[in-house]
Chains A and B, each alone.
Chain A
Amino acid sequence: MSESKEQRIEDSYDAVIIGAGNGGLIAATELAMNGVNILLLEQHNLPGGFASSFVRGRFEFETSLHELYDWGPKSNKGGTRRLLERYELDSEFIEVPEAYRLILTDPNEDLDVVMPFGIDAYLDAIEKEVPGCRDSVSKFFDLARDVDIATSYLGRSKGKPDQEVLLREHSNFLKTAAYSVEAVQDALNIPEKAKSILNAYWLYLGIPASRSNFTLFSSMVYGYILKGAYIPKFRSHDYTTALDNKIREFGGKIEYNTKVEKILVENGKVTGIETSNGDKIKTNHVISNASPTLTYNKLIHPKSEVPEIAYKEINARRHGVSTFVVYLGLDATAEELGLKDYSYFISNNMNTDELYDSLNNLEAPEVQATICLNNAIPDCSPPGTCIVSITTAFLPGSWDDVKPEDYFTIKNKIAEDLISTLEKTTGAPIKEHIEEIEVATPQTIARFTRAYNGVVYGYEPDSWDSIIPRLAMMNDDKHIDGLEFCGGHGKRAHGYSSSLKDGQTAALLTLQDLQKKGELK
């Protein structure tokens, strides 16, 4: 039809951003703010990727965010907050009341503890629970602070740190960078029970303490405890729509419902893209918010332009977990249900190897991270109701053999088991108050984001592939001229803050390249 032809986008752009997830949105905003002529393409009809919301009945649910790390109060702003404030974003964020409540269900564990924000308050609470652990846990935080100082030094040095300075001032960072959380915690002689409490956030990175890299994990824990955690007042869709608004204000163009099918490459250089709507767009710069897995295996055209090393890199790494979420709109208040806390980590025990293994069956995993949104935003749902979401994870592959006709039964069974665990551990009568329920599985993730195999987290941040080697090898990991990546599979590993910051890095690298080549109009 002639109309649909007229609707095609035939222009050329300085840069095209593929995917309006956290990374893609920031990359587009940063470039547009710098006057770069950009086009942001998103296959879904909404911005945000995982950072979204949806409405059912009287409720608007947060899709995936539990809490933003590195936001911080006005008096002590974190990097993520400074980044979004750079764009004067019109979106409000609210502080989460307490760090978390950890409940271990194994009768041998006997642990049910609420942990506060603030390093001193946290140390007091953990010492009370595990007498005698204060010294070793406080060393953990000292190390985490050293890591934090060292990584900001690395950031300032733009990848060219002075070896002398590193050795003299940042030796604690150097000496822990290659080790797992477990190795360092053992070296500090942190008691088992204190480790259990300290590692409650493990699911946010999705790999067990025996492999989870210390640099990354300790930064995360330190960031949360030092600066608190924040969430958007009107769900993540609000700030992602605010970013959409900013991109347009800065002169950028956004097209939803537009799936990129090909990134055209000639002699190792990006020359354009093609979309499912038949658009053929010329550009020398693409920022892919799609994973390298998807980009190299599906998007680069022709296939002969994909270097062998790109496949090897993907195959050497392990894809992170996908998520499973039960969203509940309940017709009772949090208070009536006896849910006092915002964030609940509930698991059998804190043997994270065992918990990780439990993510590999088509059964309810032995771990859940549950949020009661009203305990941070009291009026997030109508009077007399509350919003609870139960999140767990699955390893890629665990859902591979599910048939369409069994799908709804399987997901309901897992959802029911997770709800039962929440009821048993908190005493809250959930089932009888369900007014709205929605269950998202790895399939749902694939459906809405088209992420490879429904994977939510990026590649697993083992020490060998954690942020330090990733950042150090930024240039080695570049294989096609004009192609940058951003997002949860990026240089800073996964998580909202990492993805947002990675978006800015990708934009700045692209901007640098545009300037160097004199391509800016």
Chain B
Amino acid sequence: MSEEKNKFDITVKSNSRDLFAFTKLVPNRKKRFERASSEPITKDPMNELAVRLHPIRQYLVISEIKDETKSTKTFKLIPDPDSKTKEVAYFRAGQYLSLKVQVNGVLITRPYSISSAPSEALKGYYEITVRKEDQGFLTEFIWDNWKKGTKIESSGPEGYFFYEPLRDLKQIVGIAGGSGITPFRSMAKAIIDGKLDAKLTLMYGSSEEDDIIYYHEFKEMEKSNPSKIKIVHVLSCDAISLEGCEKGFITKEIIEKYCDANSSTFFICGPQIMYNFVEEELKKLNLPVKRIRREAFGEVKDILTHPGFPKEVAEKIYKIKVHIGDMSKEIPAIATESVLVALERANLTPPSKCRSGECGFCRSLLIDGKVYVNPVSDWRKSGDKRFNYFHPCASYPITDLEIIVPRDL
């Protein structure tokens, strides 16, 4: 090998000095080590900042409860003084908290948008606004049990539903339905306190006048900031007594009446049924994909109505063999409920945050069997699809399964 090469010999300083420098490499390194300080490193500023911005858990306590409507309450949450949580993490208006609640002995999570302003987090609190659902597994529990002083375990602020100045146009058009208004309250407050340099026109759909959340609060914000905040109520009920409301649903025509669609960025948050309607209306406007931002709407509730779902399994109950850490357990699972719900029903405390397929925190490994993944909620990475990783919150069992689930953090 060596015959045909080495056409020239390098000399950096001189032949002997170059070779000498080589022989000194190890002794010099030793010397440098010996001379250095033996003080341990105790500071780690980036990890400290990471823990402040993105705490894994926040231990909170309810400090105030306000009735918003007959079926809606706002809960003010502050750090639990008995915990190691000393501040609430700063966030971007529109983000949510994943709350972990034990309901009748079963630990579940639910995402709730933060309805207070980021600047209020700096003052030490969040607000979340909850609407009581008919036969809502969690909300009925909340109505019966959440009182001033109740302790709540939360994630850090999560999600991508926020205004991004490098991407979004200064005119935000919010489209909200029902309790989907909550992130827009946060955005409106951030606009007013100057933290968010944008304007908000909010199209807010409600089914009854007395279902409108924050009616007076938004009227006030609109009145004192007419150039920045505008709210349009769209009511689907027959009798309307409030002034200046639109009747029906949020249609293309109503949107165009109040906004210049081509110079706005749309933010949508509301129940699934509203998405189904509004998406069709927005299609007519032919907007680029980047101009429409959607909040993940949580778990799909009526998977049976999705065209790709195999209807024949609707009534079936399957078995899932679950491995978590060293534990293996067989649990029942209803085909029309997500694998995550089956895991929670069995009280196996799986990790989860968004419950929409988006965040990937519940990512698990499918060893055997088949799941149905709703294409709308399929946010898996290509590698995960190739190697049978799936998101239990957006997957439904359509055979018996065997899965490996990570433990919760």
Asked if residues A175 and B19 are in contact (CB atoms below 8 Å), the reply is yes
Q: Which residues of B contact A476 (CB under 8 A)?
A: 30
Of A297, A412, A443, which is in contact with the most chain B CB atoms at under 10 Å from its CB?
Answer: A443
Contacts of A520 in B (CB 8 A): none
Residues of A within 8 A of B407 (CB): 4, 7, 255, 257-258, 277
With A241-B384, A255-B325, A473-B26 known as contacts, the answer to whether A172 contacts B33 (CB < 8 A) is no
Determine whether A151 belongs to the interface, using a CB cutoff of 8 Å to chain B: no
Q: Are A473 and B29 in contact (CB under 8 A)?
A: yes
Determine whether the beta carbon of A312 is less than 8 Å from that of B37.
Answer: yes
Closest B residue by C-beta to A294: B44
Residues in A whose Cβ lies below 8 Å from that of B382: 53, 60, 234-235, 237-238
Closest residue of chain A to B160 (Cβ to Cβ) is A56
Cross-chain contact A257 with B408 (CB below 8 angstroms): yes
A125 touches B (CB below 8 Å): no
Within the complex, what minimum Cβ distance (angstroms) separates A90 from chain B?
A: 8
Given A7-B326, A277-B325, A464-B25, do A234 and B167 touch, yes or no (CB 8 Å)?
no
The answer to whether A469 touches B37, judged by C-beta atoms less than 8 angstroms apart, is no
A431 to B6, CA, bound (A): 51
Specify which chain A residues have a CB less than 8 angstroms from the CB of B33 in the assembled complex. Answer: 309, 312-313, 316
Interface majority SS on A: helix, strand, loop or mixed?
A: helix
In the bound complex, residues from chain B placing their C-beta under 8 Å from that of A473 are 26, 29-30
Tell me the B181-199 residues at the A interface (CB within 8 Å): none
The residues of A that contact B1 with a CB separation of less than 8 Å are 149, 169
Cβ contacts under 8 Å, A238 to chain B: 381-383, 386
CB of B34 within 8 Å of the partner chain: yes
A134 to chain B, nearest CB (A): 14
Asked whether, in the complex, the Cβ of B46 is within 8 Å of the Cβ of A322, the reply is yes
Q: Does B360 contact A (CB under 8 A)?
A: yes
Do A184 and B12 touch (CB < 8 A)?
yes
Interface residues on B, range: 35 or more
How far apart are the CA atoms of A112 and B30 in the complex, in Å?
43
B262 within 8 Å of A (CB atoms) = no
Decide: A9 and B37 in contact? CB cutoff 8 A.
no
B residues near A149, Cβ cutoff 8 Å: 1, 5
B326:A11 contact, CB within 8 angstroms: yes
Chain A 40-77, CB-CB to B under 8 Å as 1, else 0, gives 00000110000001111110100000000000000000
1/0 contact trace for A271-305 toward B, CB 8 Å? 00000110100000000000001001100000100
Which among B61-69, B220-228, B347-355 touches the partner chain? B347-355
Contact indicator B49/A443 (Cβ below 8 Å): yes
22 contacts across the A-B interface (CB closer than 8 A) = A7-B327, A9-B326, A45-B409, A139-B10, A142-B6, A174-B19, A175-B10, A178-B18, A187-B13, A237-B383, A255-B407, A312-B33, A315-B37, A399-B49, A408-B92, A436-B290, A442-B46, A447-B53, A452-B44, A453-B45, A464-B32, A476-B30
Q: B residues touching A (Cβ–Cβ < 8 Å)?
A: 1-2, 5-13, 15, 18-19, 21-22, 24-26, 28-30, 32-42, 44-47, 49-50, 52-54, 89-90, 92, 107, 118, 122, 160, 164-167, 288-290, 324-327, 347-349, 351, 360-361, 363, 379-384, 386-387, 389, 406-409
* Sample of 18 further A-B pairs with CB below 8 A, known A257-B406, A312-B33: A7-B407, A90-B386, A168-B2, A169-B2, A171-B9, A238-B383, A238-B386, A241-B384, A257-B408, A315-B37, A315-B39, A316-B32, A419-B166, A435-B290, A444-B50, A446-B50, A454-B47, A464-B25
Taking Cβ atoms with an 8 Å cutoff, the residues of A that contact B are 1, 3-4, 6-11, 45-46, 53-58, 60, 90-91, 139, 142-143, 145-146, 149, 168-169, 171-172, 174-179, 183-184, 187-188, 234-235, 237-242, 244-245, 255-258, 276-277, 279, 293, 296-297, 303, 306, 308-309, 311-316, 322, 331, 397, 399-402, 404-405, 407-408, 412, 415-416, 419, 431, 433-437, 442-447, 450, 452-454, 463-465, 468-469, 472-473, 476
